[in-house]
Amino acid sequence: MTTVSAEPFEFVCDPKTTALVCIDFQRDFMEPGGFGESLGNDVATLRVAIEPAKRVIEAFRERGLMVIHTREGHRPDLGDLFPAKRDRGNPSLRIGDAGPMGRLLTRGSAGHDIIPELYPIEGEVVLDKPGKGSFYATDLETILRARGITHLVLIGVTTEVCVQTTAREANDRGFDCLILSDCTGSYFPEFHQSALAMFSAQGGIVGWVTDSDALLTALDKGE
């Protein structure tokens, strides 16, 4: 068993039944010219998560542990895009429109893909999802249950949107979730802090929060 120092108390897991879920580290959210920027956001705020995320992904790979990558996006015919999602806000470009990295949040376009720094390797699950949560309209739960996974380590962007939604979905399905604060990021620093605080409040009402150093130290010690 591995014991990770965390809030609100230690997170205890067996790495063999723990999966690392890397949420939406996509060019569309993290590079200029993508969907995130079209919503008026400064994408540079998310990039601080890249180096610590890389270290955690490497640690899981070195130990042969499960690594899953998710991507938010839609079918090229946009048949899975609700008008409510397409039309909300006042973006400079909408989902499916052509931008500098191809069609925004559309499967097959360059911007929809994962940033090169954190690119999946062969054998890792890449899960396409039309929503913010990674369980909605996907086979993620089936994939996790088939491997006997009970615990999740969540990293990715953005903290209060897709990471938080996924964590809440996972918690309701009985998975124990640990979010790594320095491997997640938000366009709004105050939302990042609040999302993490509300996640572990009330005795871990949704789950646990720690950082990459604490997890990596625990993985080293657990062996």
Q: Are 25 and 71 in contact (CB under 8 A)?
A: no
**Contact in structure between 46 and 189 (CB atoms under 8 Å):** no
Distance CA 138, CA 90 (A): 28
Smaller CB separation from ligand TIU, 132 or 151? 132
Kindly state the DSSP code that residue 74 receives in the 8-state scheme.
Answer: B
Binding piece for ligand TIU, criterion CB under 6 A, among 12-20, 85-93, 155-163, 166-174: 155-163
- Would you please indicate which residues are annotated as catalytic (active-site) residues? 24, 129, 162
Answer for which of 158, 166, 181, 212 binds ligand TIU (CB under 6 A) is 158
| 115 belongs to the binding site for ligand TIU (CB under 6 A) | no
Residues 6 or more apart whose Cβ sits within 8 Å of residue 112: 26, 27, 28, 71, 73, 102, 103, 105, 106
Shortest spacing between CB 28 and ligand TIU, in angstroms: 9
Instruction: State in angstroms the smallest separation of the CB of 35 from ligand TIU.
Output: 7
* 7 near ligand TIU, judged by CB under 6 A: no
Can the peptide bond before residue 120 be classed as cis, meaning omega within 30 degrees of 0?
no
161 binds ligand TIU (CB under 6 A): yes
Chain residues in the site for ligand TIU (CB under 6 A): 24, 29, 39, 72, 132, 157-158, 161-162, 187
